[in-house]
Chain A
């Protein structure tokens, strides 16, 4: 088992394992290449099951030669069967919710950041940084604090207050950029050239992205070493979506699980849907958009892995849909009411698309569907404002009875 090199996904050129992320020949993204030829599936499975209670149980499939130290180990988040949600959707499919809000900083970004920060330390960086739509900001600030590294976190300055507060608290240098995420990302791409910092999603992106595979591995393990028939996942840059596919594929190729790739359904917001549009139009590139949606964590108008997400959805017979801000709010509420899980706007997008698939009759009876909930509802409280009203009463029995006379029978 070994981590071999970085390899261009477009032209196949290989590079040494360093802080580099795009191909000098064709600008294609670099991806970690492993040599798993010496791996014994049964032995790998035993090692996983005897491993830690988090992502490092999958260390054999991550870009390290051993298990790095990680004081904030994320992962092994709950996978819950959601029969009442299935009932409300009127589908005979088996619906499962992977609640990845149950991570140290309450989003799936802890997975990718744990991998990137460990790699930054291995490569000798003293400062980590990122361009973020919010969740990544929380994760980078926290993991840098835990590792004793300096950090710079760049976000659009109009981000949700909850996400700003939950970043600044860790003592990071929080930089609000007057622009949208794509402006922040361009600035960070330029800064990464001139500053000796580990930008987790720029120059360390090949390693960072590998962390998302652990969501696929956990899904398989938690389903009793079986694959789901279908997955529904949000798409921002498209990295999570494509790495879920790669995670399933690695285990299929190595014989850790039997079957084939699940059908992949991607979820975007109408107000930022470059990948859904490319899918619908049959393009192999994404036309950039200027985002305008309440789903700010998905508001990437120029998605780096968009073309690969489109390709994977097509290849697996799936699709990429988008939903309106109203449908996002309804999705948040539907999930909360039927499962007790309160998700942020990105989860509302995912449930909104799940509902669309059910309404269109695309979910087959008995098929096993896993929907990925990537973030916590407390981070985007504004999305639930005014979706219900409080009963305000005086502290008397009369006042209570007057308010609830219609509902409570004596």
Chain B
């Protein structure tokens, strides 16, 4: 499954300036692993001990993955995976 992972501006230093990364994967965890394989620096910024850090939110086509199956959330061709900081609002 080919999906687009959107990288927040502040993390693009770790992707050589890329705002979007095209990767393959059947669920969110696999897609993120594919991103980390290409840009190793991102793994530690986004995850800790194999899970997402507590102030990282991930959305699949606008839907928070915590309302779905977390990193196991299935993705389909053309989905957009967005990584955003959780510390906004209120």
**Chain B residues within 8 Å of A285, by CB:** 54
Q: Which of B9, B86, B90 counts the most chain A CB atoms within 10 A? A: B90
Closest B-chain residue to A29, C-beta based?
A: B87
Within 8 A of B (CB), among A280-298: 284-285, 287-288, 290
A7 at interface by CB-CB < 8 Å: no
Main DSSP-derived SS at the B contact region = mixed
B34 at interface by CB-CB < 8 Å: no
Tally of contact residues, B, Cβ under 8 A: 27
Q: Which of A205, A236, A238 counts the most chain B CB atoms within 10 A? A: A205
CA distance A186 to B55 in the complex (A): 13
A238 touches B67 (CB 8 A): no
Question: Shortest distance in angstroms between A6's beta carbon and chain B's nearest beta carbon?
Answer: 12
Which of A20, A28, A202, A307 is in CB contact (< 8 Å) with B89? A202
A305 touches B90 (CB 8 A): yes
A300 touches B90 (CB 8 A): yes
A27 touches B45 (CB 8 A): yes
Question: Shortest distance in angstroms between B28's beta carbon and chain A's nearest beta carbon?
Answer: 16
Main DSSP-derived SS at the A contact region = loop
B40 at interface by CB-CB < 8 Å: no
Given A10-B55, A186-B62, does the pair A21, B45 have CB atoms closer than 8 Å?
A: no
Which of these binds chain B: A92-100, A157-165, A188-196, A253-261?
A188-196
Closest A-chain residue to B45, C-beta based?
A: A25
Question: Shortest distance in angstroms between A71's beta carbon and chain B's nearest beta carbon?
Answer: 25
Instruction: Name A's B-contacting residues (CB within 8 A).
Output: 10, 20-22, 24-29, 131, 181-183, 185-186, 188-190, 192-193, 199, 201-202, 205, 236-239, 284-285, 287-288, 290, 300, 302-305, 307
Q: Could you write out 27 A-B pairs with CB less than 8 Å apart?
A: A10-B55, A21-B85, A21-B87, A22-B85, A24-B13, A26-B45, A27-B55, A29-B87, A181-B89, A186-B57, A186-B84, A189-B85, A189-B89, A190-B82, A199-B88, A201-B88, A202-B88, A285-B54, A287-B66, A288-B64, A288-B67, A290-B67, A300-B90, A302-B89, A304-B55, A304-B86, A305-B90
